[in-house]
Amino acid sequence: MNIVTRVLIGFLCFTPLAGAAADNVNFQWGVKIPMRDGVKLNATVYTPAQKEPAPCVFTLTPYISQSYHDRGMYFASHGYPFLTIDVRGRGNSEGEYHPLIQEAKDGYDIVEWLAKQPYCNGKVTMWGGSYAGYDQWATAKEFPPHLATIVPVASPYAGVDFPMSYSVFAPYDLQWLLFTSGRASQDHIFGDDAFWLGNFRRWFESGRPFKELDTLVGAPSSIFQEWVAHPHADSYWDQYNPTSEQYSKLSIPILTITASHDDDQPGALTHYREYMKNASPEGRARHYLVIGPWDHAGTRTPNAKVGGLTFGPASLVDLPKLHLDWYRWTMQGGSKPEFLKNYVAYYVMFADKWRYADSLAAVTREERALHLGSSANANDVLHSGSLSTDAKKGQPDHYVYDPRDTSLAELETQLDPASLVDQTLLYARGDKQLVYHSAAFDRDTEVSGFFRLSAWIAIDQPDTTFRADVYEIRQDGSSIALASQVLQARYRQSLREPQLVKTKAPLRYEFDHFPFVSQEVKKGSRLRLVIAPVNSIQSEKNYNSGGVVAEESMKDARPVNVQLFHDPQHQSTLYVPMGAGGG
């Protein structure tokens, strides 16, 4: 799970759906939908050949409405009028584009306009993932009377996983902003990996502040500057997402879909948790959750191959059909989708099984505590520390992170950041990290839920950024990335209220935002925990000075000595989620 490969799109990777015969679908291009402020949005309308009014489906996208032509044909051929609509300021829609924030009220207006159309029976729903998944939560929080249900897929939660991951921005943000700039598609510029990696490396090696990246690349962006001016959760980001009160008032049926390797899983599950925490019992009983093994694009059209891994045939769920079944159940009185055997459905990787639970918490049977320990400094993969059920005494482990070190930049441009099996960077990082291994598993064991790491760490600078990664290491030495999390020292106590470090004594750091994972760890495998600095061309750089991170540059760089404690008074522990499926 890489913090910087997050993608707010997905259609570029879609496997085309089976085509619908043109005589089964009526097509109308360039339909104008009026908004309350007089702006008209552009829609392409696909309607079934039969004339009876039916529930309507729409997607609201910045990626130009023709991108979802196959979806329009698919749903219309199955009886549902489907509209692909350009967000304001994009494609052929009027108005000015401002990502995400404009979609709530526009979504409301579209729902109520659609409900009055002759091909609609008054019930309206939405389709889509990523940006179009976020649109669904944004629209729902406005409570349009004719919105009957939503199916938010891979939905970001602004300020949590996009455009930053727990207060750490990524150069990718600018790549995405350029992709959605102007009115036409910028897909060729967006897809030029060599161009972007070269520019990210140039910025990284130059030591220039992160906030200057847009100028350096040649694409000045007021939105980029607006975003980096808000480096943590605050009222600015709150306005994008539903409030607790709005979640509590929602009562429509909701089907949330995400995946273990979906880069927007943190956002999707934040929406899910906030809804489940605030909704009424009746509302909670109408919310279902599906977590597959897929990557971001796969949450629309699953692919068994993800990041160098291959999953079994059970992973290839027909998600378009699941949408149809859900729409029929919630809007037309049909039977409950057969796939949804309980409120939470999750796929166990390498067991090739779907399991079910009453709740997300019920997926995990217990947390197994593995205490960090070492007999010598654990800063080498081949001379690592241990993860053990027995707490042990020992001297602190340590590494030094010097922000002036850019030695891995060239190597990073040659690697696939989406790979879940490549260990090149781990070995290239050398002693600038801490590594711990568990004992070998004595049998195949289901690990399902959320890892947690409670670590006692001391630093001698006001701030730095850590990354914790958990891997399965198989008997043949191959590696599979399970979960990762970044944590900036100033946000160790609160993601809303930064507090710089003012002591060289050890402080407790809770890494409690790992993503969900469900995997059968094979007999003979070990777990590997790696704690390292974030020093990458793919991430905003923290120079450790304690200033505004986006404004820091190489002249502010301060090497930091990092010590990790694991003595009886400062026991550092990795908590492993043992799946309810056994093992």
pLDDT category, 101, cuts 50, 70, 90?
very high
| Residue 225 DSSP symbol | H
- Is residue 311 classed as helix, strand or coil in its secondary structure? coil
- Is residue 538 classed as helix, strand or coil in its secondary structure? coil
- pLDDT at residue 64 tops 50: yes
- pLDDT at residue 12 tops 70: no
Q: How many CB atoms lie within 10 A of CB 20?
A: 18
223-261: buried (b, 16+ CB within 10 Å) or exposed (e) per residue? bbeebbeebbbeeebeebbbeeebbbbbeebbbbbbbbb
* pLDDT computed for residue 319 by the predictor: 98
- pLDDT at residue 458 tops 50: yes
Give the closest residue to 557 by CA, choosing from 545, 574, 547.
Answer: 545
315-350: buried (b, 16+ CB within 10 Å) or exposed (e) per residue? bebebbebbbbbbbbbbeeeeebebbeebbbbbbbb
Measured CA to CA, the distance from residue 412 to residue 419 in angstroms comes to 12
Question: Among all chains, which residue has been given the structure tokens 């910028």?
Answer: 186
Alpha carbon separation from 95 to 4, 60, 103, 182, 474 (Å, rounded): 31, 15, 12, 12, 54
pLDDT category, 81, cuts 50, 70, 90?
very high
- pLDDT at residue 582 tops 80: no
Mean pLDDT, range 236-265, rounded to an integer: 97
- pLDDT at residue 5 tops 50: no
- pLDDT at residue 21 tops 60: yes
- 581, HSE (Cβ side, Cα atoms, 13 Å): 22
- pLDDT at residue 149 tops 70: yes
Measured CA to CA, the distance from residue 100 to residue 571 in angstroms comes to 43
Burial classification of residue 415, based on how many CB atoms lie within 10 Å of its CB (0-12 exposed, 13-18 middle, 19 or more buried):
middle
Give the closest residue to 135 by CA, choosing from 186, 88, 79, 67.
Answer: 88
- pLDDT at residue 518 tops 60: yes
Average pLDDT, the chain: 95
- pLDDT at residue 16 tops 60: no
Q: Is 130 left (phi over 0), alpha (psi -120 to 50) or beta?
A: left
- pLDDT at residue 559 tops 90: yes
- pLDDT at residue 389 tops 90: yes
Interstrand relation of 465-473 and 479-488 (parallel, antiparallel or unpaired): antiparallel
pLDDT category, 19, cuts 50, 70, 90?
low
Same fold, 11-158+240-359 and 365-579: no
Q: Under CATH, to which class is 11-158+240-359 assigned?
A: alpha beta
* pLDDT computed for residue 3 by the predictor: 42
Q: Is 117 left (phi over 0), alpha (psi -120 to 50) or beta?
A: beta
Give the closest residue to 453 by CA, choosing from 514, 538, 497, 516.
Answer: 514
The CATH homologous superfamily for domain 365-579 is Galactose-binding domain-like (2.60.120.260)
> Domain residue spans in the chain?
11-158+240-359, 166-228, 365-579
